[in-house]
Structure 1
């Protein structure tokens, strides 16, 4: 049977941000609504016009 490693292992995440004493690191976004935020930013839907132009294939003959 193998022996357990008795050496003390560092249990603190090395990527955790360092902040001044008494402060708390923010690990989440602060938002005015619950749920996922829109990937389009502050856009109100439905839009009056859509800024999309469908590509057309031109065949060279």
Structure 2
């Protein structure tokens, strides 16, 4: 017999979707594993848009 539902344990931010829809995008991903937080960027990059800061000592 299943335990009764505890409304205090339900996440209020979980979206209400129609039947058959999934709120988790990882279920529909083309690849296994977590999705990139960088969007559709593929690694390794040919060019990295980063310049390391250089400290010039004032003498």
TM bucket (normalised to shorter chain) is 0.5 to 0.7
| Between structures 1 and 2, the one with greater helix share | 2
TM norm structure 1: 0.54
TM norm structure 2: 0.55
With a CA cutoff of 8 Å and minimum separation of 6, indicate the structure with the bigger relative contact order: 2
Kindly name which structure, 1 or 2, has the bigger radius of gyration based on alpha carbons. Answer: 1
RMSD: 2.7
Query: Which 4+ stretches in 1 moved above 6 angstroms?
Result: none
Q: Structure 2: which 5+ runs fail to align?
A: none
Question: How many correspondences in the alignment?
Answer: 51
Residue 45 of structure 1, CA deviation? 2.3
Distance 1:51-1:24 versus aligned 2 partners, 3 A rule: same
